[in-house]
A and B are shown apart, each in its own frame.
Chain A
Amino acid sequence: MNRLHSGNGKILKTSLALLIGALFLGGCATTAVEQRGIASKADPYENINRNVFTFNDTVDSYVAKPISDAYKWATPQFAQTGIFNFFNNLKNVDVIINDVLQAKFAQGAEDAGRLFINTTLGLGGLVDAAQDLGLKQNDEDFEQTLAVWGVPRGPYLVLPLLGSTTARGIPGSILDTAANPASYVGAPIQLVSLLNTRANAQGSLDFVKEGALDPYVFIREGYLQTREHLATDGKSQASLDVDNELGDDNTATSASDKKASTSSKANYSLQLSSAEHTANSFGSATQSLDQTAKSFEDASDKIDKLAKQKNSKKFKKAK
C-alpha cells in the first residue's frame, strides 16, 4: 500500500514532518530564488531564513538522508515501529506535564493511563498497547502551553540543523527537551531516536519535494498552520479563513489588508479566548483544589466518625 501518506491527507503528514524537521533537518530541495520581496508578516527574516533553509537542505541531502537511508535499509519495519513507539511513549511525560499546565486534567489522566499501560503491557513502550484499548495519543508541548497562556508567537525562524520554529517555539523546545526522559539517556540512544525520526519523515519530505512549487513557503505555511491548529486544539479560524479568502475574490483590491485585518481580528479573538481559557483553567484548577480539599475534609470526617464508633464500641465492651 502506498500508505495514504498521499493526497490531501499528506498535507498534514507534511506538516508533521515539519514538526519532526524542527527536531532535526527541516529541509528539502529549493531552487535558487532572488532574495527580494518579503511577502509574509509572520516571517520578517525571510531572507536569512531562506539561506539557513538552503544550508539545512544541503546538510540533509549529503549527511542525514544517506545515513537515514542506510538505517532504513538495515532496520526491519517492526524494529522501526518499536523504536518509534518507545520514544513516543517517553514523550508522554512531557505531554502529561503540559496537560496539567493547560488545566486539561481529564486528558492528563488519560495520558497518564496511556504512559502506564504502554510502559507495562506495552513492554516498556515498544508496543502501543494503549492504542488498541482506545486511548488516543494526544499532542501537547510547552510551545502550545505558552500559546494557551497568551504568549505571542513571534516571528517564524529557521534554525541551523534544527529547522522550523518561532520565537515562542525556542523556549518551548528547551523545556520539552528538559521534560523528556529520552534527553537523559546516552548519546547513542538519542542518535537512534534522531535517525528513526528522520526515516519516518521521508514520506512527507518526498511529498513536499514532489508537490511544492516553493518548498520554503510550503514548509513555513504548513508549520505555522499546524502549530496554530495544535495550540487551539483544532478551534483555529479555518472558517474565518475561507470566508476571508472568498471575500477578496470579488474585490481583489485589498486582499492582503483584509487578510491582515481578519487575521488580526482572529488573533484578537484567539487571544481573548486564550485569556478566557487561562482564566477558566485557573478557575477550574481552584475548583478542583477546593473539591480535593473538601474530599479530604469529608474523608477525615468519616475517619473521625469511624474512630468515634470504634471508641464507643470499645467503651461499651469495657462496660
Chain B
Amino acid sequence: MVLKNIKFVAVFMCCLLLGTSNVFAKDEAAKQVVDKFQSELIAVMKNGKQLGFSGRYDKLVSSVSNSHDLTKIARIVVGKEWEKLSDDQQKKLVDVFSRLSIASYAHNFKEYGGESFTIDSEEETTRGGVVVYAHLSIPNDKDVKFEYHLKETDKSWRIINIVANGVSDLALKRSEYTSILQREGFDALIAKISEKIDNYSKL
C-alpha cells in the first residue's frame, strides 16, 4: 500500500516536472523568437546607411515574416470586417499589410546610434500565449519598454502584438483600419496603405 502511494507520488512528480519543463520550453522558444528578431533588427540598423531603404527592406523580409504572424495580425486589425471581404480582398489585404509592416521597420530603423535591446522577463498568459518583456536603451534618452505578445502557430512562436510604453500597436492599428473600412471602404484602405509604402521608400 505504501509502495503504491510512493509510486503514485513518483508518477505525480514526473508529470509535474514534465509540465514545468514544457512551460519552460514554451517561454524559452517564444523568447528566442524575440531575441533573434531584435538582433537582426540591430544588425540592419548598424548597416542601415550602406544598405539603403531597399537593402534594409530585403534583409527584413525574412526577419519580420519569420517572427511575426502577419496574416493573423492583418485579420485582427480589420476585426469583424474580415468576414465581409472576398477571398481575393483578404489575400490583397494580407499582402499590402505585410509589405507595409516590413517597410515601416525598414524606414524607422535606418540608423544605429548605440541602441540596445534587453529582454527582462517572460510570462505565460491565460490563453496559452507568452508575453516577453523587454526594453530598448537609447543613449541620452529614456528607455522604451516593450511587451511582445506571442502565440504558437504550427509549432513555432510568432509575435502578434507589440506594446510600447503602454501603447498597443494592434489596438491602434485596429482602430485605424476598422475606421477607414467603415467610413471609406476597402479600396480606400488599400490605396492608403500602398501610398504609405510608396512614401516610406522615398523618404
To the question of whether A and B form a pair in one complex, the answer is: yes
Q: Mark A51-73, 1 if CB is under 8 A from B, else 0.
A: 00000000000000000000000
Q: How many residues of B contact A (CB 8 A)?
A: 63
Interface contact B179-A214, CB-CB below 8 Å? yes
Residues in A lying within 8 Å of B, measured CB to CB: 1-4, 6-12, 14-15, 33-34, 36-37, 39-40, 207, 210-214, 217-218, 220-222, 225-226, 228-230, 234, 236, 238-239, 241-243, 245-249, 252-256
- Chain A residue, CB-CB nearest to B166: A229
Interface contact B196-A211, CB-CB below 8 Å? yes
A278 CB, nearest partner CB in chain B, Å: 22
Scoring B107, B177, B183 by chain A CB atoms within 10 A of each residue's CB, the highest score goes to: B183
Interface contact A241-B171, CB-CB below 8 Å? yes
- Chain B residue, CB-CB nearest to A81: B140
Contact of B196 among A8, A36, A213 (CB under 8 A): A213
B96 CB, nearest partner CB in chain A, Å: 11
CB interface residues, B 19-38, toward A, < 8 Å: none
CA distance in complex: A10, B172 (Å): 13
B34 CB, nearest partner CB in chain A, Å: 12
CA distance in complex: A252, B76 (Å): 9
- Chain B residue, CB-CB nearest to A239: B125
- Chain A residue, CB-CB nearest to B173: A213
- Chain B residue, CB-CB nearest to A6: B108
Interface contact B105-A221, CB-CB below 8 Å? no
- Chain B residue, CB-CB nearest to A39: B179
Please indicate the chain A residues that have their CB under 8 angstroms from the CB of B149 in the complex.
239, 242
The answer to whether the Cβ of B169 comes within 8 Å of any Cβ in the partner chain is yes
Q: Mark B129-144, 1 if CB is under 8 A from A, else 0.
A: 1010000101101001
- Chain B residue, CB-CB nearest to A42: B175
Residues in B lying within 8 Å of A, measured CB to CB: 72, 75-76, 79-80, 82-83, 104-105, 107-115, 125-127, 129, 131, 136, 138-139, 141, 144-147, 149, 151, 160-172, 174-180, 182-184, 189, 192-193, 196, 199-200, 203
Contact of B199 among A9, A15, A210, A238 (CB under 8 A): A210
Please indicate the chain B residues that have their CB under 8 angstroms from the CB of A12 in the complex.
144, 164-167
Task: Indicate whether A11 sits within 8 Å of B178 (C-beta atoms), given known contacts A213-B196, A252-B82.
Answer: no
Interface contact B168-A242, CB-CB below 8 Å? yes
B112 CB, nearest partner CB in chain A, Å: 8
Task: Indicate whether A4 sits within 8 Å of B147 (C-beta atoms), given known contacts A213-B192, A246-B76.
Answer: no
Interface contact A242-B170, CB-CB below 8 Å? yes
Contact of B76 among A34, A214, A245 (CB under 8 A): A245
Interface contact A243-B110, CB-CB below 8 Å? no
Interface contact A4-B141, CB-CB below 8 Å? yes
Task: Indicate whether A39 sits within 8 Å of B105 (C-beta atoms), given known contacts A12-B144, A247-B127.
Answer: no
Interface contact B172-A225, CB-CB below 8 Å? yes
A95 CB, nearest partner CB in chain B, Å: 16
Scoring B144, B145, B166 by chain A CB atoms within 10 A of each residue's CB, the highest score goes to: B166
Please indicate the chain A residues that have their CB under 8 angstroms from the CB of B108 in the complex.
6-8, 10, 207, 211
Please indicate the chain A residues that have their CB under 8 angstroms from the CB of B166 in the complex.
12, 225-226, 228-230, 234, 236, 238
Interface contact B182-A39, CB-CB below 8 Å? yes
Contact of B104 among A1, A3, A211, A229 (CB under 8 A): A211
A112 CB, nearest partner CB in chain B, Å: 21
CA distance in complex: A2, B149 (Å): 27
**With A11-B172, A33-B184, A229-B167 given, can you name 17 additional A-B contacts, CB distance below 8 Å?**
A1-B139, A7-B105, A8-B144, A8-B146, A39-B183, A40-B175, A211-B104, A218-B172, A221-B167, A225-B167, A242-B168, A245-B76, A245-B161, A246-B151, A249-B72, A249-B76, A252-B83
